[in-house]
Structure 1
Amino acid sequence: MTRRTFAFFDWRLRPDQDADAPPTTYAFRCLTLNDDDTECAAKSPASDDPTEPQTWAFAHMREFPEHTSYAEVTERPWAMWREGPT
């Protein structure tokens, strides 16, 4: 008979705030519907400065004055952390 030992751990999912974690990035996506009911879907470049995508949205609206609906796209790194044996 073989004896086995098992270790159980609790895992937690939380924002990754380590120094080597990727930055949180922001972008905006145009939600305005075209004449054929498809979404414009133009998207700003991602930036770790949230004001840069906002600037893009104003520029996009200047080019397309009827495009007034946007969604913010935020990418925040998360990590699983193992906490001691239960």
Structure 2
Amino acid sequence: MTTTTRRTFRFVNWTLRPDQDDDAPPLMYGFRCLALTDDDTGCAAKSSLSKDPTEPQTWAFAHRREHPEHTSYAEVIERPWVMWREGST
């Protein structure tokens, strides 16, 4: 005796968007040094992430004072995103 199971599939669309809800994690800022050292490896120094974008900028100036030849940096932004299923509230 064979049993047949009937299944129904529901396909839904998903949307990815920045999470701007009240309980979303904060937007975080940082900097990392892009300078190459004498042996052509990357410096790898980086600031801590901060909600205040001026704190990592202060770190970059302090890092440059310690390493005058390190003049190239990349901004790091951590922005929370969320997936929403179409039809969700």
TM-score between the two structures when normalised by the length of structure 2: 0.87
The aligned counterpart of 2:45 is 42
Structure 1 or 2: more strand by fraction: 1
Report the count of equivalent residues.
85
5+ long unaligned stretches in structure 1: none
The one-letter amino acid paired with 2:59 is W
Is 2:69 the partner of 1:54?
no
Q: Say if 2:5 is the partner of 1:6.
A: no
Shift of 1:2: 4.0
How far did 1:5 drift? Answer: 2.7
> Which residue of the other structure, out of 67, 76, 79, is the alignment partner of 1:76?
79
Q: Which amino acid aligns with 1:17?
A: Q
Say what the alpha-carbon RMSD is for the aligned residues: 1.5
Runs of 4+ in 1 over 6 A off after TM superposition: none
Q: State the alpha-carbon separation in 1 of the partners of residues 34 and 25 from structure 2.
A: 27
> Identity percentage over the alignment?
77
Q: 1:64 aligned to 61, 67, 73, which one? A: 67
TM-score by length of 1: 0.90
Long gaps (5+) in structure 2: none
Name the SS of the counterpart of 1:40 in structure 2.
Answer: coil
- Letter of the 1:33 counterpart: L
The equivalent residue for 1:20 is 23
Larger Rg: 2
1:53 counterpart letter in structure 2: P
The 1-side partners of 2:64 and 2:26 are apart by 28
